[in-house]
């Protein structure tokens, strides 16, 4: 015990002694923390940066995969270049580069399609790949980065449909915000054009999980439709709405039958 905090002082002023002991313990813990931090820094320096953390160009913080993990993922990723323009369907995600080249992502079950169009909406090239769950995409130079939400992975694919690199997206608050505010944003600006995803189905928009149109709004306010699958989207929305109504009717019918069973009506007396 400290000389200024002996038994006599403890009895006369215990609060002062308690604060003195607490401050001393805090100082010891702080020194241990600093020593641990220094040892960790030295270990990283000696290992030559075994864990490489880098900021991907589009804005995500990513971590380089080990060779074993990357080889395992590559063996399960099937990217197939398209030989002809794909059938257009509702848009899941998109991106536009500085030259106005459009990358449009659509999905049909696990089979996803990435189609690239020029500034006038004319098809250039594309590829398909198989992945479960939602996905996003962004340009990185001439390559396209495909983001897998379920796997937290970034696949960098060149214009020939070849997988250049795989990176793991870190689970950070900044990355989570980037998912929602950038990758899945429905508006992007390039040059004097605002590119925007739209639906024009009135109340049926409530039943749409994707978009039917990609338009370019010029600086003078004029609008150019670059991609349009409104008819297909409307049919899909009506079908989903009918399924919801049918499901609600079945549930209400089951509740009514259960209610009648629990509360049988009295027989009518003559």
Task: Encode pLDDT of 234-248 as tens digits.
Answer: 666 666 767 777 888
Q: How confident is the model at residue 61 (pLDDT cuts 50, 70, 90)?
A: confident
Q: What is the pLDDT of residue 84?
A: 93
pLDDT at 195: 93
Per residue in 146-185, pLDDT (tens digit) is 999 888 999 999 999 999 999 999 988 888 888 888 888 8
* Percent of the chain clearing pLDDT 70 (strictly above): 69
Alpha-carbon gap, residue 200 to 217, rounded angstroms: 16
Region 208-218 average pLDDT: 84
Mean pLDDT of 248-270: 73
**99-142: pLDDT as tens digits:** 999 999 998 778 899 999 998 889 999 999 887 788 999 999 99
CB 105 within 8 A of CB 114: yes
Q: In which order are the strands placed within the sheet that holds 111-117?
A: 79-81, 123-130, 111-117, 102-108, 91-96
Judged by DSSP in three states, 262 sits in: helix
The predicted pLDDT at position 267 comes to 54
Other Cβ atoms less than 10 A from the Cβ of 242: the count is 11
Picking from 122, 126, 97, the residue whose alpha carbon sits closest to that of residue 112 is 126
Q: What is the mean pLDDT of the chain?
A: 75
- How far, in Å, CA of 82 to CA of 116, rounded? 11
pLDDT for residue 34 is more than 60: no
Q: What is the CA radius of gyration of the chain?
A: 30
The encoded tokens of residue 160 equal 């020939």
d(CA 181, CA 184): 6
Token readout for 1 is: 């015990």
Q: Can you tell me the mean pLDDT for 211-215?
A: 89
At residue 180, the 3 state secondary structure works out as: helix
User: Which segment, 6-15, 55-64, 219-228, is predicted with the most confidence on average?
Assistant: 219-228
E strands of 34-87, at which residues? 53-55, 61-64, 79-81
Identify the band that residue 210 occupies on the pLDDT scale cut at 50, 70 and 90: confident
Count of Cβ atoms closer than 10 Å to residue 34 Cβ: 10
């Amino acid at each position: 015990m400290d000389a200024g905090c002996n038994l006599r002082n403890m009895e006369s002023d215990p609060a002062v002694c308690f604060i003195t002991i607490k401050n001393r313990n805090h100082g010891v813990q702080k020194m241990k923390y600093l020593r641990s931090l220094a040892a960790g820094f030295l270990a990283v320096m000696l290992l030559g940066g075994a864990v490489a953390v880098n900021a991907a160009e589009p804005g995500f913080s990513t971590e380089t995969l080990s060779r074993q993990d990357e080889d395992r993922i590559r063996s399960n990723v099937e990217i197939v270049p398209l030989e002809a323009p794909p059938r257009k369907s509702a848009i899941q995600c998109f991106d536009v580069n500085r030259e106005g080249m459009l990358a449009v992502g659509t999905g049909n079950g696990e089979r996803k399609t990435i189609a690239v169009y020029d500034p006038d909406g004319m098809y250039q090239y594309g590829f398909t790949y198989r992945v479960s769950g939602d996905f996003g995409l962004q340009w990185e130079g001439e390559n396209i980065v495909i983001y897998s939400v379920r796997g937290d992975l970034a696949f960098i694919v060149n214009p020939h449909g070849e997988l250049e690199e795989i990176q793991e997206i870190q689970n950070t608050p900044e990355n989570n915000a980037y998912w929602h505010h950038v990758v899945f944003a429905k508006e992007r600006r390039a040059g004097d054009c605002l590119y925007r995803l739209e639906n024009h189905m009135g109340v049926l928009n409530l039943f749409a999980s994707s978009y039917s149109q990609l338009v370019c709004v010029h600086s003078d306010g004029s609008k150019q439709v670059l991609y349009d699958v409104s008819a297909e989207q409307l049919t899909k929305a009506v079908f989903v709405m009918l399924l919801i109504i049918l499901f609600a009717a079945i549930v209400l019918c089951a509740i009514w039958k259960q209610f009648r069973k629990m509360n049988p009506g009295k027989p009518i007396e003559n």
